[in-house]
Chain A
Amino acid sequence: MNMIPATAPAFKPADYKSSVKPVWCPGCGDHSVLLSFQRALAELALPPEQVAIVSGIGCSSRIPAYTNCYGFHGVHGRSLALASGLKVARPDLTVLVASGDGDGFSIGGNHLLHACRRNIDLTYIVMDNRIYGMTKGQPSPTTEPDWDTAISPGGTGLSPFHPLVIALASGANFIARGFAGNIGGCAKLIAEAVRTPGFSFVQILSPCVTFRPDQQRGWKDLVHPAAVPETDDPARAARRLMTDDGFNIGVLYRGKREPYQPAPKAYLAPSHLEAEFAL
């Protein structure tokens, strides 16, 4: 094992921890994702006041409160709209967006398409547990069609949403998948996503201990590192993602698109804005 120089790291993961204790169920994958967030930010040595974490609604969207970065716990499905506005107005901030499969792919599905298309320099992290956990376990867009429960007898019979394929087709510049149980691995993926300019999309499989306890051990056994290295060829990435088993872990695509960042506008006094909204 090699040692690196004796300089203390600028920030430790604990430097990004707030005093608010998470209310997620013990055993929830989101605890691990929070730790991955903190480790990634420490690895990137980003001062907390230079980071904003924006979220929508759902279990995963509680994450801004648990960090001491700037945070915005927004409207259901609208985290990407909020984050896009923030990044355009404040390009100096590193903006991360947290969401879940319901918030991000159903209520906010349309925003995902256009966030990918615009390619603003954002890092979008979706904690996917294939269920609406906060509202007591309804099937989400990524739920398996045969998930048979009292709330969906016989399963929904609907094809699951393939978020990575859709993100690629819509223009996302970085696509990766992680597993919450691998905290270090997810931290590296998040850090890489932040480092890569443009819209970065990281799907993290994050088991729901309460409504999908089958995921806890099952996913741990199913996930595996992607068998092939990342590609910058969208056509090749599309073929891989279309035939993907859903448990490939790692960076799956890294494109070369320039991020969209409009030129800054001149400062407008609040009175100007008020005048524009006057009836």
Chain B
Amino acid sequence: MNGGKPAAFDSVAAFFAQALAIEVEAAERYTLLADQMEVHNNKEIAAIFLKMAAIESEHRREIVRRAGDTLPTGIPADVSWTNPDGPEAIAFEDVHYLMTPRQALLLARFNEERAARYFESIAASATDPRISAFAAEMATDERLHVSWVDQWLETFAADELDRADDPDPPVYSE
């Protein structure tokens, strides 16, 4: 899985539009996943996903601040990525109602890494030096998020429970 090829941007505004869309998508996805976990009484994971949603929302606000006058006044005609879930959003199918905090954080880390690589590739390929610089800043932000998740991961022991260890599996009896 990857974040998809970076789009070609014809303006700084278009770059910020894409960056905002990525953060909005990631924050919304974490919120929806938190709802799912809450419904299935996995409140610990719901709290993790809500915290990740807050991080992504704060990142969106930071982009707005950083963009200043170059904040897009329109909406992008084609905010898209080759990967269906975007460069930072967790795929719906990657979660499980019995997932452990460590599994949830490893998933979050995986997606922060994807986002970092996505912005790094834009920084490396953009022809406009301003876009390249803003993309590098975004990549640095994503790397910082990876380090936060790493610190968070240290508070949890290696998994003692795997998805396969469901004591009350929802399948028919053999």
Contacts and interface: CB of A to CB of B under 8 A. Distances in A.
Interface residues of B, number: 42
Q: For the side of the interface on A, what is the size category?
A: 35 or more
Interface in B37-70: 37-40
Contacts of A181: 84-85, 91-93
A181 B80 CA distance: 15
B33 A26 contact: yes
Given A1-B7, A2-B78, A27 B14 contact: no
A4 B75 contact: yes
A32 interface: yes
B93 A21 contact: no
Given A1-B7, A150-B172, A27 B95 contact: yes
A150 B166 CA distance: 18
Contact of A137 (B35, B38, B91, B172): B172
B74 A6 contact: yes
Chain A interface mostly? loop
From DSSP, what is the main secondary structure of chain B's interface residues?
loop
A262 interface: no
A136 B172 CA distance: 6
Given A26-B37, A183-B84, A3 B172 contact: no
A220 B93 contact: yes
B70 to A, nearest CB: 12
A1 B10 contact: yes
B174 interface: yes
A27 B99 CA distance: 11
Contacts of A28: 92
30 contacts: A1-B8, A1-B14, A1-B18, A1-B77, A1-B78, A2-B14, A2-B78, A3-B14, A5-B74, A6-B74, A9-B75, A21-B36, A22-B36, A22-B39, A25-B97, A26-B37, A26-B96, A26-B99, A27-B92, A27-B94, A27-B96, A29-B93, A31-B32, A151-B172, A180-B92, A183-B84, A183-B85, A184-B80, A185-B84, A209-B93
Given A31-B36, A181-B93, 13 more contacts: A1-B11, A2-B10, A2-B14, A3-B13, A5-B74, A14-B28, A22-B39, A26-B92, A27-B93, A27-B94, A150-B174, A182-B84, A211-B170
